[in-house]
C-alpha cells in the first residue's frame, strides 16, 4: 500500500503517528511518503498546495491527513487553499462520516439508546464551490452572494453511493436531509434524485427531513437514523451534531472518497488541530484510527478494517473514564489489539 501522509498542524502529527502505528500493524507492505503541508509551510514559504505535490499525491493509494490549521493564519486560507482544494481536485464527492455510540462511551444525552448512523455528505458541490462574489465591498451597500451549486450528475452519484451503503446494512434505511421547503430548486433536484435512484433499491426504506427538524431529532431520537444523505453544508453541520451525541469530536472519523476509485481517498479525523492541547501528548488518536479503518474498508481490506474497528470498540469499552488519555498509550493498545 502506497500511502501519502499529511500530518499537518497542532495535534495532527501526534494522532497520525498513532494511526500509522495501527495501520502498519495490519498492513505489512505499507509504504509511506510524508508531505509537509499546512499552516507551518504556508507561514514559512507562502505555499499551500503546489501543483507538483498534488500530482504526487494522485499517485498514491490513499492519503492520511491529521489536521490543518493555526490561529495565526487568517480564516479561509488553509481551508480553501489546501483542504477544500484537495477534496475538489481529487473529486471527493463522498464525505463519509459514521457516528456510532460505542459501549463504554458516554453520550451527553440522558438516554441516548443505540446510535449507529452513517452520514454520506456530498463533498464537491453545494455552497462550498466558491460560486459567489461581492459588490460595493466595505460600504453600507455591500452585497455578498454564495451560490449553492447542485448538478444532476453530482447529486445522483452521491445519492447512489448512499443507497448502496444502505442496502448493505441490516436496517436498510436512508434519510435525505435538506430544506426543500425553502431551497426549492436544489431541494427538488435532491428529492427527485432520491426518488429515481430509490426505485432501483426497493429494499431500502426512505425518509425525508428538513435540516432544522433533523438537527432536533439528532438530539431527541438519534436512534432512528441509519444512512443519511445530504448536501455539503448541511452535512458539515449535522455531522458535528452526530459526533457530539456519540461521544464527541475526539472519536469522529471521516473519509473523503471518489467512489469511482479514480482518485485516492483522503482519510482524516473530523477534529481540527486543537492548538490548545498540541504538544502535550493528550490528544485522543481514536478518530484517526477509526479513519484508518475507513481507509482499509475503502481499499477493499475488509478483514483488516474489522480488526481495527474491533480494537477500538474493545479499547473504548474497557477504558477507565477517570484516567486521562495519553496519545501514545492509546495508539500502543490499539496497535496491539488490531495486530495481535
Q: Which residues bind ligand IPM (CB under 6 A)?
A: 79, 83-84, 236, 270
Binding partner selected for residue 83 from ligand IPM, Mn ion, none, CB under the kind-specific 5 to 8 Å limit: ligand IPM
Q: How far apart are CB 273 and ligand IPM at their closest, in Å?
A: 10
Q: How far apart are CB 205 and ligand IPM at their closest, in Å?
A: 28
Judged by CB under 5 A, the stretch of 7-15, 97-105, 233-241, 317-325 that binds Mn ion is 233-241
When asked if residue 236 is in the footprint of Mn ion (CB under 5 A), the reply is yes
- Looking at the Cβ atoms of 222 and 269, the one nearer to ligand IPM is 269
Q: Is 43 annotated as a binding residue?
A: no
Q: Is 38 annotated as a binding residue?
A: no
Q: How far apart are CB 236 and ligand IPM at their closest, in Å?
A: 4
Indicate the helix (H) or strand (E) that contains 66.
strand 62-67
Q: Is 138 annotated as a binding residue?
A: no
DSSP 8-state class, residue 313: H
Dist CA 94 CA 114 (whole Å): 25
- Looking at the Cβ atoms of 35 and 234, the one nearer to Mn ion is 234
When asked if residue 14 is in the footprint of Mn ion (CB under 5 A), the reply is no
Q: How far apart are CB 117 and ligand IPM at their closest, in Å?
A: 16
Binding partner selected for residue 61 from ligand IPM, Mn ion, none, CB under the kind-specific 5 to 8 Å limit: none
Judged by CB under 5 A, the stretch of 74-82, 136-144, 158-166, 231-239 that binds Mn ion is 231-239
Q: Is 315 annotated as a binding residue?
A: no
Query: Which grid coordinates belong to 130?
Result: 466558491
Q: How far apart are CB 85 and ligand IPM at their closest, in Å?
A: 10
**Number of residues near Mn ion (by CB under 5 A):** 1
Query: Which grid coordinates belong to 114?
Result: 443505540
Q: Is 278 annotated as a binding residue?
A: yes
Residue 248 CB contacts under 8 Å (≥ 6 apart), including other chains: none
Binding partner selected for residue 79 from ligand IPM, Mn ion, none, CB under the kind-specific 5 to 8 Å limit: ligand IPM
Cα-based torsion angle of the residue sequence 303, 295, 155, 217 in order, rounded to the nearest 10 degrees: 80
Cβ–Cβ under 8 Å, residues 157 and 150: no
CA distances from 156 to 73, 194, 229, 315 (A): 36, 8, 11, 38
Binding partner selected for residue 295 from Mn ion, ligand IPM, none, CB under the kind-specific 5 to 8 Å limit: none
Cβ–Cβ under 8 Å, residues 302 and 261: no
Q: Is 280 annotated as a binding residue?
A: yes
- What are the residue numbers of the active site? 128, 179, 212, 236, 240
Dist CA 287 CA 82 (whole Å): 21
Quickly list DSSP for 67-132: E---TTS-TTHHIIIIIHHHHHHTT--EEEEEEE--TTPPPSSSS----EEEEEEE-SSBGGG--E
Dist CA 79 CA 278 (whole Å): 20
Q: Is 254 annotated as a binding residue?
A: no
When asked if residue 231 is in the footprint of Mn ion (CB under 5 A), the reply is no
Dist CA 17 CA 130 (whole Å): 33
Which residues are part of a known binding site? 87, 97, 121, 212, 236, 240, 272-284
- Give the interface with Mn ion as residue ranges (CB under 5 A): 236
Which residues are part of a known binding site for Mg(2+)? 212, 236, 240
Which residues are part of a known binding site for NAD(+)? 272-284
Amino acid at each position: 500500500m502506497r500511502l501519502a501522509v499529511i500530518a499537518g498542524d497542532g495535534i495532527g502529527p501526534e494522532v497520525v503517528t498513532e494511526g500509522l502505528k495501527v495501520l502498519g500493524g495490519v498492513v505489512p507492505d505499507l509504504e509511506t511518503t510524508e508531505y509537509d503541508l499546512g499552516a507551518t509551510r504556508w507561514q514559512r514559504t507562502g505555499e499551500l498546495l503546489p501543483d507538483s505535490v498534488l500530482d504526487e499525491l494522485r499517485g498514491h493509494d490513499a492519503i492520511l491527513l491529521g489536521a490543518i490549521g493555526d490561529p495565526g493564519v487568517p480564516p479561509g486560507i488553509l481551508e480553501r487553499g489546501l483542504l477544500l482544494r484537495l477534496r475538489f481536485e481529487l473529486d471527493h464527492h463522498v464525505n463519509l462520516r459514521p457516528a456510532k455510540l460505542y459501549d463504554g462511551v458516554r453520550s451527553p444525552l440522558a438516554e441516548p439508546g443505540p446510535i449507529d448512523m452513517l452520514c454520506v455528505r456530498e463533498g464537491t458541490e453545494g455552497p462550498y464551490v466558491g460560486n459567489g462574489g461581492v459588490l460595493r465591498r466595505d460600504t453600507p451597500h455591500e452585497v455578498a452572494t454564495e451560490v449553492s451549486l447542485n448538478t444532476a450528475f453530482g447529486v445522483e452519484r452521491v445519492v447512489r453511493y448512499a443507497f448502496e451503503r444502505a442496502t448493505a446494512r441490516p436496517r436498510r434505511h436512508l434519510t435525505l436531509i435538506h430544506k426543500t421547503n425553502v431551497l426549492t430548486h436544489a431541494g427538488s433536484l435532491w428529492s427527485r434524485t432520491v426518488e429515481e435512484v430509490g426505485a432501483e433499491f426497493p429494499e431500502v426504506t426512505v425518509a425525508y427531513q428538513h435540516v432544522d427538524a433533523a438537527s432536533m431529532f439528532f438530539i431527541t431520537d438519534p436512534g432512528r437514523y441509519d444512512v443519511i444523505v445530504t448536501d455539503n453544508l448541511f452535512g458539515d453541520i449535522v455531522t458535528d451534531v452526530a459526533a457530539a451525541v456519540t461521544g464527541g469530536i475526539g472519536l469522529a472519523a471521516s473519509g473523503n472518497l471518489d467512489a469511482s476509485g479514480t482518485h485516492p481517498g483522503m482519510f482524516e479525523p473530523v477534529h481540527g488541530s486543537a492548538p490548545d492541547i498540541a504538544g502535550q501528548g493528550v490528544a485522543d488518536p481514536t478518530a484517526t484510527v477509526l479513519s484508518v479503518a475507513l481507509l482499509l474498508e475503502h481499499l477493499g481490506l475488509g478483514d483488516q478494517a474489522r480488526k481495527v474497528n474491533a480494537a477500538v470498540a474493545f479499547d473504548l469499552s474497557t477504558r477507565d473514564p477517570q484516567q486521562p488519555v495519553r496519545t501514545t498509550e492509546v495508539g500502543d493498545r490499539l496497535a496491539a489489539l488490531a495486530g495481535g
